[in-house]
Amino acid sequence: MAETKTDQRADAALYTFDRSVELFERATKVIPCGIYGHHSPAIRTPGATPYYFQRGQGSRIWDVDGNEYVDWICAYGPMLVGYNHPKVEAAAAAQREKGDCLSGPSPLMVELAERLVQMTPFADWFVFAKNGSDMTTWAVQVARAHTGRNKILMAQGAYHGKDPWCTPGHAGLVPGDREDMLSFRYNDLAGIRQLADRHRGKIAAVILTPYHFTNWQDSEMPVEAFWQGLRKLCDDEGIVLILDDVRTCFRLHMGGSGEYFGVKPDLSAYCKAIANGYALSACGGRQELKTAASKVFLTGSYWFSAVPMAAAMATLDEMEACDGIARIYELGTTLCNALTEAAASHGLQLACTGHPSMPMVKFAGDDDMYRTQVWCAEVTRRGAYVHPHHNWFVSTAHTQEDIKRTLDAAEPAFAVVKERFGS
């Protein structure tokens, strides 16, 4: 790791992204948007961020211009125990030597399902896929098959994947994609109850994330008794409660994020952190839903590949061995507190919202995001990769030294914001 005193750097020493920009220009010729989806420069600050990376190790990433960063994005969630983690890679390599994508599953598929069932209080079974969307969409279908009802309730602004019923995009949709979708404001149990009354006997499921995280906004934790009230409402009305744990799984609780909030869903979708970056998603469910789950077709070319399942087993091992949940909670809390204090010392008010293991970090009341954008750009070019519009992620590979380095980058960045915006 380069020992650079980022806070004392001259402007000339700040990171630049020439090679990233060059590659992006080439990309736009042969890839629509150049880079799309949640990696898209469109949701970042143009020119203030690297676009392409060449290496990851532990908590650090290196972009194509050779700049090194403490990475607080963690591949947007998948990296949980550190890039290139020796135990995860050893488990993956041992399995790869035998076989990955074969003409049928490996025994690991059974072992991983057994393990997840054993560690997940609500779940009696699991299935596996590749994308989070594979599992949220399938869960919705399972709920429909189970209840014989069509309507689905989701929170306004919630992200549940790329599929037509829920994509945040607007192009290419037809009315049929969403004619059975109803929406409510997260945390508004009374609003959900009104919908349940109005559409009694027609609602198959409510799908929602453990807490509410949307780009460009503060994250919102569930209000007191929200989950318990929702659970009761679903029980009373015969509605399937689907937890979208795709982004949150194994960062809040090893038994599923419902456990963190004291609620047991009927179905829960997992992805991202489950295999430390190896492509795997999963959905767990209660016994009552197993017949319906057996009826809804699901498949994919690489879904039974053994290496990601070996990586998942090793990732779960490592999380258990290092008490990962407590560790990233503590690291995230320390980071958020330190940043908030540093901001305050400049007369600035930083708001870290959501769970500390994946905090949304922005300036309080910064609705147009300008101050947050400028600050994140200044932090990034000083060696900590952070995002102005998306929540950050903490891993067990992060260290106090990483936090210190991030603060070293944040300090002069706060000064820039103070100077440019006054508050």
Q: Does 104 bind a second copy (CB under 8 A)?
A: yes
- What is the rounded CA–CA span in Å between residue 10 and residue 382? 11
Residues in 13-42 at the binding interface with a second copy, rule: CB under 8 A: 23, 26-27, 29-33, 35-39
- Is residue 218 a contact partner of residue 360, using CB atoms and an 8 Å limit? yes
Burial-class residue 395 by CB neighbours within 10 Å (0-12, 13-18, 19+): buried
Return the number of the residue (305 or 353) whose C-beta is nearest a second copy. 305
Out of 15, 48, 59, 64, which residue is the one contacting a second copy (CB under 8 A)?
64
In angstroms, give the least distance from the CB of 269 to a second copy.
Answer: 12
Q: Which of 319, 317, 386 is nearest to 358 (CA)?
A: 386
Q: Does 341 bind a second copy (CB under 8 A)?
A: no
Quickly list DSSP for 312-365: HHHHHHHHHHTTHHHHHHHHHHHHHHHHHHHHHHTT--EEEES-TTS-EEEETT
Give all strands of the β-sheet with 53-57 in edge-to-edge order: 53-57, 60-63, 68-71, 384-385
Q: Does 172 bind a second copy (CB under 8 A)?
A: yes
- What is the rounded CA–CA span in Å between residue 360 and residue 373? 13
Q: Does 402 bind a second copy (CB under 8 A)?
A: no
Out of 110, 223, 225, 344, which residue is the one contacting a second copy (CB under 8 A)?
110
Residues in 242-271 at the binding interface with a second copy, rule: CB under 8 A: 246, 271
Give the range of 48-56, 211-219, 348-356, 358-366 binding a second copy by CB under 8 A: 48-56
Out of 77, 82, 256, 388, which residue is the one contacting a second copy (CB under 8 A)?
77
Q: Does 422 bind a second copy (CB under 8 A)?
A: no
Q: Does 130 bind a second copy (CB under 8 A)?
A: yes
Return the number of the residue (269 or 417) whose C-beta is nearest a second copy. 269
Torsions phi, psi of 235, nearest 5? Answer: -60, -45
Q: Does 48 bind a second copy (CB under 8 A)?
A: no
Looking at this protein, which amino acid is placed at residue 275? A
Q: Does 335 bind a second copy (CB under 8 A)?
A: no
